[in-house]
Amino acid sequence: MSCRSGDCSEPGRSRPAARSIRREIASDRGLITVGEDWTLKVSGRVRGVMPEETWRGFFARFDGADVKKPERWEPAGEYLEWHRGRVFVAS
């Protein structure tokens, strides 16, 4: 089957684009951010709004994970600092 039919991944696995969109939405809502040390920070607020199983199965494993710096177009440190201070919901 081709991607045109909507089946671009193995059964039970989400497509990379869908995962990217979820990360973008979570970032826009202040639920995740990139720390000064280039690790992913997950807001404590996330844990409070979802079932524990969902928290453990998805978000908890990413909290503190290393974020690979992009080879091109690395975001300006000022933007990341702004995001952590103005958008990210720490708890």
Bigger pLDDT: 2 or 48? Answer: 48
Measure the CA–CA gap between 27 and 66, rounded to whole angstroms.
16
Bigger pLDDT: 82 or 29? Answer: 82
Please tell me the predicted confidence (pLDDT) of residue 81.
Answer: 93
Please tell me the predicted confidence (pLDDT) of residue 56.
Answer: 83
How confident is the model over 21-36, as a mean pLDDT?
A: 84
Query: Is pLDDT of 71 > 80?
Result: yes
Asked whether the whole model's pTM tops 0.85, one would answer no
Query: Is pLDDT of 75 > 80?
Result: yes
